[in-house]
Amino acid sequence: MTRKPWNVGLIGCGFMGRAHSNAYRRVGNFFDLALQPVLKAVCARTRSDAEAFAERWGFESVETDWRRLVERKDIDAIDICTPNDTHREIAVAAAAAGKAILCEKPLARTAAESAEMVAAVERAKVPNIVFYNYRRVPAVTLAKQLIDEGRLGRIFHYRAVFLQDWTISAQLPQGGAGLWRLDKAVAGSGVTGDLLAHCIDTAIWLNGGIESVTAMTETFIKERQHNLTGRIERVSIDDACAFLARFANGSLGTFESTRYARGHKALYTFEINGEHASIRWDLHDLHRLEYFDHGDDTVVRGWRSIHVTDREMPYMKHWWVPGLQIGYEHSFVHQVADFLEGLATGTAAEPTFHQAQLTQHVCDAVLKSAASRQWVDTPRM
């Protein structure tokens, strides 16, 4: 099968840059696609960083100015793996240049910024997607399938938790490479835009729109040294956030996230309770979906653990034999595969910028509610 080259320009070479690069390198080995990603160029702040990354991952060339990369005629797609404060400017420029755009989450710092990005890609009519990768963990995709088939019946409750513990030390500085997530000017928010954005996107995908929220946030350590200025400066991000939500389908939601849960590095779980059945999922056991069906005979009724490895299950026919599981990195491979398949068929892979803006609106509403201590409605879209 002859595949058409599809030249990728990657901006940013941190954790997500590695995850995306791995996906581009592996997708053609396991999926039959009309397009073959080519790692054409990577852009970083310094040439030494860009060159080291290019050598490790196989990029053909390097840039230190993202604007030059966007302007290059040999680039088909721009992948944005940079801090949140740069997403809007890069995406708007890439859209104007006619490039397909793949953007790491969250789409932007605020809904106002994301609206500019949505307008830019829709005006230019360029393909676009946001990397909310947990949608493409096979067990989570299976949960979507079961819900859409009506197996749960009417949904009553959705609850999600995302816990980490890496910012507990008061000696940890804020700002700069690796710690920009602690700097509100760069990140836009703390756990709301970082961790809860994942929870919100998954919830909207599985359970429909969120209509209103009431939230509380806390910043436990009020001041930290800033890596770029050397000064002790106020910390403005939310270290922890918990909120209640009302979904459009009438169900209730609870969401909690913190970076102060000692012992938890990345505990992301969700549970959905319906009229007939319930499901729950845990990132630590990501290849399994827990399922309870009230329709089972009483003597065998109980929670079952579905090992999501059979060929009939989402994405698994592309990998190994039944019983052998896959991992976190494969969710990015799946997202790239779906995006490339969408380019070939003319069907947009999700979530598009427009769809990801829904999550941005909920994040804004959560932060507004926490500040006002009132219920806040999300915009109708």
What pLDDT score does 178 carry?
87
For residue 106 the two structure tokens come to 């969250």
Asked if 124 and 150 sit in the same domain, the reply is no
Mean pLDDT of the chain: 97
Domain count, the chain: 2
Asked if 89 and 197 sit in the same domain, the reply is no
SS3 label, residue 245? strand
Measured CA to CA, the distance from residue 296 to residue 277 in angstroms comes to 10
The residue from 133, 168, 193 where one domain ends is: 133
Asked if 106 and 195 sit in the same domain, the reply is no
For residue 176, the enclosing domain spans 135-377
What pLDDT score does 381 carry?
73
Asked if 232 and 203 sit in the same domain, the reply is yes
Where are the strands (E) in the chain, listed by range? 4-11, 35-43, 61-63, 77-80, 100-104, 128-131, 155-163, 210-218, 223-225, 232-234, 240-247, 252-258, 267-274, 277-282, 288-293, 304-307, 376-377
DSSP code per residue over 247-291: ETTS-EEEEEEES--TT-SSEEEEEEEESSEEEEEEGGGTTEEEE
What is the domain-level CATH number for residue 19?
A: 3.40.50.720
Asked if 175 and 237 sit in the same domain, the reply is yes
As a three-state string, the secondary structure of 110-135 is CHHHHHHHHHHHHHHCCCEEEECHHH
Question: Amino acid identity of 92?
Answer: V
Provide the CB-side half-sphere exposure for 337 (13 A, CA).
21
Only one residue has tokens 């068929």, namely 345
SS3 label, residue 244? strand
Question: Amino acid identity of 218?
Answer: E
The residue from 133, 154, 172 where one domain ends is: 133
Asked if 183 and 294 sit in the same domain, the reply is yes
Asked if 108 and 252 sit in the same domain, the reply is no
What pLDDT score does 104 carry?
98
DSSP state of 58: T
Measured CA to CA, the distance from residue 315 to residue 139 in angstroms comes to 10
pLDDT tens per residue across all 381 residues of the chain: 789 999 999 999 999 999 999 999 999 999 999 999 999 999 999 999 999 999 999 999 999 999 999 999 999 999 999 999 999 999 999 999 999 999 999 999 999 999 999 999 999 999 999 999 999 999 999 999 999 999 999 999 999 999 999 999 999 999 998 899 999 999 999 999 999 999 999 999 999 999 999 999 999 999 999 999 999 999 999 999 999 999 999 999 999 999 999 999 999 999 999 999 999 999 999 999 999 999 999 999 999 999 999 999 999 999 999 999 999 999 999 999 999 999 999 999 999 999 999 999 999 999 999 999 999 999 987
Asked if 115 and 153 sit in the same domain, the reply is no
Asked if 228 and 351 sit in the same domain, the reply is yes
Asked if 202 and 262 sit in the same domain, the reply is yes
Asked if 23 and 159 sit in the same domain, the reply is no
The residue from 133, 164, 179 where one domain ends is: 133
Asked if 218 and 359 sit in the same domain, the reply is yes
CB 217 within 8 A of CB 370: yes
What is the domain-level CATH number for residue 367?
A: 3.30.360.10
Sign of the CA dihedral with 351 first, then 211, 191, and 272 last? negative
Q: Whole-structure pTM over 0.95, yes or no? A: yes
Q: Characterize 78-91 residue by residue with b for buried, 16 or more Cβ atoms within 10 angstroms of its Cβ, and e for exposed.
A: bbbbbbbbbbbbbb
